[in-house]
Chains A and B, each alone.
Chain A
Amino acid sequence: MVLPPLAGAALNGILGRRFSQSVVSLVGCGGAGLSMVFALLSAWVYSQSASQPAPFIHSYFTWIQAGELHADYALYYDRLTLIMTLTVTVVAFLIHLYSRGYMEHEGGYYRFFTYLNLFLFMMLTLVTASSYPLMFVGWEGVGLCSYLLIGFYFKKKSASDAGKKAFIVTRIGDAGFTVGVALLFWTFHSLDFQTVFTRVAGLPQGGFESVLTAIGLLLFLGAAGKSAQLPLYVWLPDAMEGPTPVSALIHAATMVTAGVYLVARSSIIFAHAPSALAVVGVIGCLTAFFAGTIALTQNDLKRMLAYSTISQLGYMFLGCGAGVFAAGIFHLMTHAFFKSLLFLAAGSVMHAMGGELDMRKMGGLRHKLKTTHATFLIATIAISGVPLVGAGFFSKDEILAGAYEGPLGRPLLYWLGTLTAGLTAFYMFRGLAMTFYGKSRVEPETAHHLHESSYKMTIPLMVLAFFSVVAGWVSWPKVWPFNGSEAFDRYLDPVFGPATAALRDMSPEHVGGLSPEALMGFSIIAAGIGVGVALWWYLKSTDIPEQLAERYADVYRILTHKYYVDEFYNWLIVHPLRVVSEKFLWHVVDQGSIDNLMVNGAGESTSSAGGILRQIQSGNIPSYAAWVLLGAVLWLLYIFATR
C-alpha cells in the first residue's frame, strides 16, 4: 500500500523529464490509484481477519538498533489506521486526477506529480508507522514535500518565502516533538507504540503524571506546528501560494491533520496527563474561534479557506482535548472530504478566472460555472453544519456535544465552539455569495474567457461532493430525532476505549444542565443565524457590511490585518533575530572572525610565506644542488649528534 506512490515518485522523478504529460499523469495517478486499491484491500482483509479489533503489526526489517533503542520498519494497522489510510488515499487519488487537468498548462508537470506521489508515500508512512521514530520519518517527509510544493512556483519570491516560512515555523513544533519522543524513551525505554501504550495503560492512577504531562505538552507542540494551531498557525495562510491541488491535499485534507492523528494515536498518554489534554482542548477551541474571526474579513478566496481550515483543525483538537477522540477523528475524515472539495472548487474558479482570487472581483459565477457552483455549494453546506445534508453537521455536532459533556468538557468550550460554528456558517456563505451569486463584478476581459473546467477536473469534484454528503451518515447521533447509534464512535472504541475509560475514572462527576437535544439545537441555531445573516448581508442589502466596517473601523482593521500577529512575530522574533544576525553574527563573527581572521588570514599568511620562500626557487640548478647537499649534511650531522 505504501510503495506504489514511492515507485511512482521515483519513476517520475528520474525519468519524468523525458515522459510526455500523459505518461507522467498515468504513472502519478497510477501510483495513487494502486495505493488506494491496496488500502481498500487491506481494510477488507483486516475487517475479515480474526485478530481484529486488535492491531495488526508486521515488521519488515530492523531499521535502528542502538543500545536499548530498537525501531523496526513495521506496519501498525488498527481501526484508526484503517480510517486514516482510506481517507488519505481516496482524497489523494481524486486530487491526483484533478491535478491532471489543473496542472496541464503549468510548467513542471512531472515535478509536480513526483512531489505529490512522494508526499502520499510519506503520509502513508506516517499513519501506518508502528513507532514514534518511524512516524517522525513520515512527519518530516510530509513537511519536506509541503515545503517543495508550496514553493512550487519557485520563481515567485512570495512562493519560495512562504515555503521557507512553513518549513521554519513547523520546525519549532518538530523540536517539541523530538524532545517529547526523547522524554518518552527516557521514561519507558521503548518507542514502539504497542510497548509504550501497554506500559502507560498499566500505570496506576496518577503515576508518572508530571513526566507524562511534559511529554503530552511537547507532543502537542509538535502537533500544533504541523496542524497550524495557535501560536504556530501563521505559516498555513501563506502556504496558499502553492498550486491549489496542493492546498487541497496537503494543507486541508491530509498533512495538517497529522497533528490530530498524533494526539489521537497517543490518546492513552494524554489520558494519563489530563492537564496536558485540557491544554489541547483550550488551544484548539481558541484557535477555532480566532481563525474563524479572521476568516470573516478575508477577501482572498483561498486565504479565507485557509483560515477556515485552521479553525476546523481547532475543532478537531477541541474534540480530542475534551476526551472524545473519535469525534475528532470523525471530523478529520469529513473535513478531509469537504475542505479538499472547497479548495478544488476554488481552484476551478481560479482556473476559469485566470488566476484571480479576489472575491470582490467575482460574483454571479453560477451561470458560467454550473458544476463548480453546485459542488462548492454542497461543500459549504457541509462545513457550515446544516443538518442532515452536510457531513460537517454530524461530526461538528459530536465535537460540540463532547465539549460540553465529554470527560474534559467545559460549558465555556461549548459556547465558544458554538459561536465559532455560527461564524463558520457566516463566512462560508459570505464566500459563496460573493463568488457565485449577486451581480457580476468580473472584469470584462476575464469575463470573456470565463469557462467551466474540463471533465478531468469536474469529475473529482462531483465524487468529493458525494462523499461530503454521505460521509456524515456513517454515524448518526443518538439524540432525538435521529436515534442513531454513533456507529463511528463504537467502531473506534477498541482504539480509544482505554483512554476514554481512564479519563472517565478520573472525573466521575458530570456537569449536567443542558440535554443533548438542546446542545444540538443551539449549534443548529448558530449555524442558521450565520447562514441567514450572510445571505441577507451579501445578497439582499449589500451595503450593510460596508456600513458596519465603517462604524467599527478599528475592529475591522484588526481583523483584516489578522490581529497583527505576523507583524507581532516580526517585531518579537524576526526583527531581533535579524538585528543580532546582521550586527553581531554577520559583522563581528562572520566578517570579523571567520572572513578576516580565518579565511583571509589563512590565505594571506600562506601567500606571504610563499613570498619569502619563493626566493629559494631561483631556477638556478646549482643552487638547488647546494640546498640538497646542505640538507644531506644537516641530516648526517643530526644523525651523528643523536647517536
Chain B
Amino acid sequence: MNMVPLSHYLALSVILFVLGAAGFIFRRNIITVFMCIELMLNAVNLAFIAFSRFLGNLDGQIFVFFVIVVAAAEAAVGLAIIIALHRNRASLNIEDVDSMKM
C-alpha cells in the first residue's frame, strides 16, 4: 500500500491555515471568524499528526491532544461571549465591536 507522502499533508495543512487566516481577517460575521480560528487550529493539528507519523514518535500527538482540549475550552467560552454580545448589541458584525479603541 502506498504511503501518502509527508509533503501532501503539509500542503493541505498550509492551505487550510491560509484559508482560516484569510477568513479570520476578511469575514465580518463573528461566528464565521470563530470557525476560522478552529480551522487554523485544526490545520496545525494536521501538521502535528503528520510529523508525528513521519518521525515515528508520539510528541506531536500529545500536542494535538492539548490543542483539542484548549480548542474545546475556547469554543465553550467563546460561544458564551458571542451570545452575550448578541444580546447586548443585537449584532454579530465584528466591526461593531470596537469599544476597546482609545
Contact = CB atoms under 8 A, between A and B. Distances in A.
Contact of B25 (A614, A618, A619, A622): A622
A622 B100 contact: no
Given A625-B21, A626-B25, A619 B94 contact: no
A617 interface: yes
A614 B97 contact: no
B98 A625 contact: no
Given A614-B102, A617-B101, A617-B102, A622 B94 contact: yes
A620 interface: yes
A618 B98 CA distance: 8
A629 interface: yes
B25 A620 contact: no
Interface string B65-102: 00000000000000000000000000000110111111
A621 B97 contact: yes
Contacts of A620: 94-95, 98, 101
B21 A629 contact: yes
Contacts of B95: 620
A629 B23 CA distance: 12
A622 B101 contact: no
A574 B101 CA distance: 56
A621 B100 CA distance: 10
A151 to B, nearest CB: 50
A618 B95 CA distance: 10
B102 A629 contact: no
A621 B33 CA distance: 10
Nearest to B21: A629
Q: How large is the interface on B (under 10, 10 to 19, 20 to 34, 35 or more residues)?
A: 10 to 19
A619 B99 contact: yes
Interface residues of A, number: 10
Nearest to B101: A619
A625 B24 contact: yes
A622 B30 CA distance: 10
A619 B24 contact: no
Contacts of B54: none
Nearest to A620: B98
Contacts of A614: 102
Nearest to A629: B21
A622 B24 contact: yes
A394 B95 CA distance: 101
A625 B100 contact: no
A594 B8 CA distance: 64
Contacts of A621: 33, 94, 97
A617 B101 CA distance: 6
Contact of A618 (B21, B24, B101): B101
Nearest to A617: B102
B53 to A, nearest CB: 23
B86 to A, nearest CB: 16
Nearest to B99: A619
A576 B99 CA distance: 59
Nearest to A632: B21
A369 B100 CA distance: 81
A617 to B, nearest CB: 6
A89 B24 CA distance: 85
Contacts of B97: 621
Contacts of B26: 622
Contacts of A619: 98-102
A625 B20 CA distance: 11
Interface string B36-58: 00000000000000000000000
Contacts of B25: 622, 625-626, 629
Contacts of B21: 625, 629
Contacts of A617: 100-102
Interface string A386-413: 0000000000000000000000000000
28 contacts: A614-B102, A617-B100, A617-B101, A617-B102, A618-B98, A618-B101, A619-B98, A619-B99, A619-B100, A619-B101, A619-B102, A620-B94, A620-B95, A620-B98, A620-B101, A621-B33, A621-B97, A622-B24, A622-B25, A622-B26, A622-B33, A622-B94, A625-B21, A625-B24, A625-B25, A626-B25, A629-B21, A629-B25
Interface of B: 21, 24-26, 33, 94-95, 97-102
Given A619-B101, A621-B33, 16 more contacts: A614-B102, A617-B100, A617-B101, A617-B102, A618-B98, A618-B101, A620-B94, A621-B94, A621-B97, A622-B24, A622-B26, A622-B94, A625-B25, A626-B25, A629-B21, A629-B25
Which 9 pairs across A and B sit closest by C-beta, in order of nearness?
Answer: A619-B101, A619-B98, A622-B25, A619-B100, A626-B25, A625-B24, A625-B25, A629-B21, A621-B94
